[in-house]
């Protein structure tokens, strides 16, 4: 690693922080201009104007927007995310209880989907134009286009209703045995995997094909190297960067999918907490959850970009 | 931001990926046929519906296939066929309007930023970069939590979410075209900026822009039906295909047709659109590639 790469990485990190700041401004701007402010909402319809005014003063709602934004941002950075109105609990506490569940779900999904997608992507790149490749190409195209709740409902119908292997739409709080773990996580993870594996396999295939078309692979082929060795020893090391990029980008699609999947399977994660907060218009909770999701999304995109920078020798050694 | 980073964002990668797949061309025709059918349903669906959409016509809830009710009945005993025919108008109509607006504004901003001075180009691109970093579902969720759900708000949200992606695709093409000789000639001839943008650049990028429009339409269908599925999209008594899945979710344990039919309807619509786009862009790729 030389100074040029370091400079590129620093610049990218800086751009990431600036973007996150802008995102926080947008989130605050949308949630703070809401009709009927927080004071009116928490006191209910029958509050006297004096009561509302007093609470407004107490909550600091009479201050200009910029000040309120800075105040909010400072609190967010120090971990004080305010009080959830509908749950009568600090937002931080509420979220801390849910985050591990979502991370567990995301982790399990990544663990299953990444190897599967790599095998599918590399396999279809090797047999390019063949029957398996065109079959995969159609399946991935279809999976990318299908809504998560279609996959989820079909999976429930097949595995829970018809075959009776798994319990539908229920969540066991105490997971003691591996079998119980499997029964709880199989359907949500399967649903999330369907969408992500398709995306990842498509991008992996493109990255490997890109390498297979290059002159050095043709040279190896002319030398009589076996196809498997060409892919594993020659093409793959050079495609690692784009593939890592593809994995990080695909995982960022998890964020959208997890909202639907947690809702349909009653999974007590951070996304279902957010959907409840939106339904109850619990603004402090919505703001905090949105910032968490946007930060996670930005982090994954950032990771993808860093993989691309670090793996590209032309950028690294300029 | 260097070009490598700009290239690796999801919005542009989806379109680029569509070009490398090797699906046979008859699948493209299937896709086109499915799209046309859904368009016709959206246009004429309410007149084709055999029963009024809100009327309870059967005592049996979650009925299966029958001659009287080809798609069965829903959780109140309403005719599913009628509800799907009417719901499709919401799904297709809203998404089409939103996709057209997003593409229009995105392409407009792209043309503006290409023909205008560098600083304005920089500002527009930066704003778009920031907006592309908010996942569309997150934006939709905070918009709904702040303003409450309505048809106008859903369209606005979808448009705001998908302008940056459309801007990016259009700008990358417009920059290339702007550097070509005939545009330089038009400039030297003394043509105005509006003329250069609309008569010289736009006609030559219209095809990819239309392909991109189709792609955005697919995304917006997924976004809006996802929101409706969460109960935060189209509100009762109206129902789009996503709301139909949601309101019948209680029948899932019985394997009710009332859930499967609308979910499959959304699936066929988006798969059809993607197949058509895949076919169109691969055909263009072959033509411009020369071999």
The half-sphere exposure of B71 on its side-chain side, counting CA atoms within 13 A, is 22
Question: Does residue B74 form part of some domain?
Answer: yes
Measured between beta carbons, which residues in chain A are less than 8 angstroms from residue B131? 26
Contact check, Cβ <8 Å, B275/A169: no
CA distance B10 to chain A (A): 7
Instruction: Supply A140's token pair.
Output: 């991935």
- CA A285 to CA A84: how far, in whole Å? 6
Rounded percentage of chain B residues whose pLDDT exceeds 90: 19
Residue A270 near chain B (CB below 8 Å): no
Question: Does residue B238 form part of some domain?
Answer: yes
User: Is residue A87 scored above 50 in pLDDT?
Assistant: yes
pLDDT in tens, A61-72: 667 778 888 888
User: Is residue B96 scored above 90 in pLDDT?
Assistant: yes
φ/ψ of residue B78, rounded to 5:
-95, 155
Contact check, Cβ <8 Å, B23/A134: yes
Instruction: Give the residue on B whose Cα is nearest the Cα of A150.
Output: B263
Cβ distance B199 to B208 under 8 Å? no
CA distance A277 to chain B (A): 8
pLDDT in tens, A242-252: 888 888 888 88
User: Is residue A97 scored above 80 in pLDDT?
Assistant: yes
Instruction: Residue B186: give its domain's CATH number.
Output: 1.10.3720.10
Mean residue pLDDT across chain B: 82
- CA B20 to CA B43: how far, in whole Å? 34
Instruction: Supply B128's token pair.
Output: 């778009």
The more confident residue out of B109 and B280 is: B109
Residue B81 Cα distances to B56, B62, B63, B78, angstroms: 13, 13, 12, 9
CA distance B217 to chain A (A): 11
Contact check, Cβ <8 Å, A305/B254: no
Residue A316 near chain B (CB below 8 Å): no
Question: Does residue B276 form part of some domain?
Answer: yes
Which range in A109-113, B16-20, B59-63, B189-193 is most confidently predicted, on average pLDDT?
A: A109-113
Per-residue pLDDT band at B290 (split at 50, 70, 90):
very low
| Cα angle B244, B154, B79; round to 5 | 20
Q: Residues A37-53: what's their mean pLDDT?
A: 67
Q: How many CB atoms lie under 10 A from the CB of residue B224?
A: 26
Q: What is the largest CA-CA distance in chain B?
A: 76
Contact check, Cβ <8 Å, B130/A22: yes
CA distance B2 to chain A (A): 9
Q: How many CB pairs under 8 A join A and B?
A: 180
Please report the pLDDT score of residue B111 as a whole number.
Answer: 92
Q: List beta partners, residue A83.
A: A90
Q: List beta partners, residue B251.
A: none
Residue A263 near chain B (CB below 8 Å): yes
Tracing tokens 């407004």 back to the chain, one arrives at A56
Write out the residue range of the structural domain in which residue B246 sits: 24-58+65-285
Among the listed residues B276, B111, B164, the one whose alpha carbon sits nearest the alpha carbon of residue A23? B164
- CA A312 to CA A160: how far, in whole Å? 47
Please report the pLDDT score of residue B92 as a whole number.
Answer: 92
* DSSP run (H or E) holding A84: strand A83-84
Per-residue DSSP letters for A184-252?
HHHHHHHHHHHHHHHHHHHHHHHHHHHHHTSHHHHHHHHHT--HHHIIIIIIHHHHHHHHHHHHHHHHH
pLDDT in tens, B121-162: 888 888 888 888 888 888 898 888 888 888 899 999 999 999
Residues A256, A261, A266, A268: is their CA dihedral positive or negative? negative
* DSSP run (H or E) holding B108: helix B80-115
- Of A31, A142, A286, Cβ closest to residue B271: A142
Please report the pLDDT score of residue B6 as a whole number.
Answer: 39
Rounded percentage of chain B residues whose pLDDT exceeds 70: 90
- Strand intervals (E) in chain B: none
Cα A151 vs. chain centroid, distance in angstroms?
A: 18
* Lowest mean pLDDT across B3-7, B79-83, B103-107, B282-286: B3-7
Question: Does residue B19 form part of some domain?
Answer: no
Tracing tokens 């697919």 back to the chain, one arrives at B218
User: Is residue B261 scored above 80 in pLDDT?
Assistant: yes
In sequence order, which residues have a C-beta less than 8 Å from that of residue B168 and are 6 or more positions away? Answer: B6, B9, B11, B12, B106, B128, B132
User: Is residue B242 scored above 70 in pLDDT?
Assistant: yes
φ/ψ of residue B234, rounded to 5:
-60, 130
The more confident residue out of A163 and A106 is: A106
Q: How many CB atoms lie under 10 A from the CB of residue A165?
A: 12
User: Is residue A183 scored above 80 in pLDDT?
Assistant: no
Question: Does residue B10 form part of some domain?
Answer: no
Residue A277 near chain B (CB below 8 Å): yes
CA distance B237 to chain A (A): 18
Tracing tokens 């702040």 back to the chain, one arrives at B146
* Threshold 0.90, pTM exceeds: no
Please report the pLDDT score of residue A317 as a whole number.
Answer: 58
Question: Does residue B14 form part of some domain?
Answer: no
Question: Does residue B16 form part of some domain?
Answer: no
Question: Does residue B51 form part of some domain?
Answer: yes
Angle between helices B80-115 and B118-132 (to 10 degrees): 150
CA distance A50 to chain B (A): 25
Per-residue pLDDT band at A42 (split at 50, 70, 90):
low
The SS3 assignment for B77 reads coil
Tracing tokens 């509100």 back to the chain, one arrives at B235
- CA A196 to CA A114: how far, in whole Å? 9
Please report the pLDDT score of residue B252 as a whole number.
Answer: 77
User: Is residue A53 scored above 80 in pLDDT?
Assistant: no
Per-residue DSSP letters for B228-249?
HHTTSSSPTTS--HHHHHHHTG
Q: ω into residue B237 within 30 of 0, thus cis?
A: yes
The more confident residue out of B254 and A289 is: A289
Contact check, Cβ <8 Å, B143/A15: no
Q: Residues B267-285: what's their mean pLDDT?
A: 84
Q: How many domains does chain B have?
A: 1
ipTM: 0.82
Decide: residue B59, CB within 10 A, 0-12 exposed, 13-18 middle, 19+ buried: exposed
User: Is residue A304 scored above 50 in pLDDT?
Assistant: yes
Q: List beta partners, residue A89.
A: A84
User: Is residue B215 scored above 90 in pLDDT?
Assistant: no
Q: How many CB atoms lie under 10 A from the CB of residue A217?
A: 17
Measured between beta carbons, which residues in chain B are less than 8 angstroms from residue A20? 133
Residues B33, B39, B42, B43: is their CA dihedral positive or negative? negative
- CA A1 to CA A255: how far, in whole Å? 32
Residue B64 near chain A (CB below 8 Å): no
């Amino acid at each position: 690693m030389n100074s040029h790469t370091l400079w590129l990485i620093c610049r990218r990190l800086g751009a990431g922080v600036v973007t996150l700041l802008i995102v926080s401004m947008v989130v605050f701007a949308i949630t703070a201009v809401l009709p009927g402010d927080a004071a009116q909402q928490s006191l209910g319809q029958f509050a006297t104007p004096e009561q509302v005014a007093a609470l407004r003063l107490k909550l600091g709602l009479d201050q200009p927007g910029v000040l309120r934004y800075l105040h909010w941002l400072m609190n967010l950075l120090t971990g004080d995310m305010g009080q959830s109105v509908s749950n009568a609990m600090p937002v931080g506490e509420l979220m801390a209880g849910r985050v591990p569940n979502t991370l567990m779900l995301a982790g399990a999904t990544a663990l299953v989907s990444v190897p599967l997608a790599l095998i599918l992507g590399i396999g279809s790149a090797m047999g390019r134009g063949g029957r398996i490749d065109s079959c995969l190409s159609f399946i991935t195209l279809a999976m990318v286009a299908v809504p998560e709740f279609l996959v989820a409902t079909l999976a429930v119908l097949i595995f829970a209703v018809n075959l009776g292997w798994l319990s539908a739409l229920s969540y066991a709080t105490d997971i003691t045995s591996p079998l119980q773990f499997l029964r709880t996580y199989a359907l949500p993870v399967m649903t999330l995997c369907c969408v992500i594996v398709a995306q990842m396999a498509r991008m992996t295939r493109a990255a490997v094909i890109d390498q297979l078309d290059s002159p050095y692979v043709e040279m190896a082929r002319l030398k009589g190297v076996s196809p498997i060795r060409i892919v594993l020893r020659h093409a793959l090391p050079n495609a690692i960067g784009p593939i890592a990029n593809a994995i990080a980008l695909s995982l960022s699609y998890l964020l959208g999918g997890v909202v639907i999947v947690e809702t349909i399977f009653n999974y007590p994660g951070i996304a279902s907490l957010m959907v409840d907060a939106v339904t109850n218009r619990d603004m402090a909770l919505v703001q905090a959850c949105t910032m968490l999701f946007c930060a996670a999304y930005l982090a994954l995109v950032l990771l993808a970009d860093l993989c691309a920078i670090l793996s590209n020798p032309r950028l690294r050694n300029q | 931001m260097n070009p490598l980073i700009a290239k690796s964002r999801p919005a542009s990668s989806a379109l680029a990926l569509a070009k490398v797949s090797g699906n046979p061309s008859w699948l493209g025709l299937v896709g086109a046929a499915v799209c046309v059918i859904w368009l016709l349903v959206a246009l004429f669906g309410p007149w084709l519906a055999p029963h009024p959409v809100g009327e309870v016509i059967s005592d049996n809830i979650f009925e299966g296939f029958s001659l009287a009710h080809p798609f069965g009945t829903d959780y109140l005993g309403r005719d599913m066929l009628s509800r799907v025919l009417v719901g499709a108008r919401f799904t297709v109509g809203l998404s089409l309007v939103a996709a057209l607006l997003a593409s229009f504004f995105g392409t407009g901003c792209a043309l503006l930023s290409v023909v205008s001075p560098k600083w304005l180009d920089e500002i527009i691109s930066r704003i778009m970069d920031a907006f592309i970093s908010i996942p569309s579902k997150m934006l939709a969720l905070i918009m709904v939590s702040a303003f409450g759900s309505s048809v106008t708000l859903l369209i606005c949200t979808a448009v705001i979410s998908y302008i940056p992606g459309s801007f990016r695709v259009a700008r990358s093409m417009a920059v290339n075209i702007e550097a070509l000789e005939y545009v330089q000639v038009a400039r030297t001839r003394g043509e105005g900026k509006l003329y250069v943008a609309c008569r010289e650049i736009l006609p030559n990028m219209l095809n990819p822009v239309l392909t991109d429009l189709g792609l955005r339409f697919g995304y917006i269908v997924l976004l809006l039906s996802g929101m409706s599925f969460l109960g935060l999209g189209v509100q009762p008594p109206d129902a789009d295909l996503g709301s139909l899945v949601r309101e019948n979710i209680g029948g899932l344990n019985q394997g009710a047709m009332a859930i499967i039919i609308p979910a499959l309807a959304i699936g066929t619509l988006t798969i059809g659109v993607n197949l058509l786009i895949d076919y169109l862009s691969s055909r263009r790729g072959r033509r411009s590639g020369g071999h």
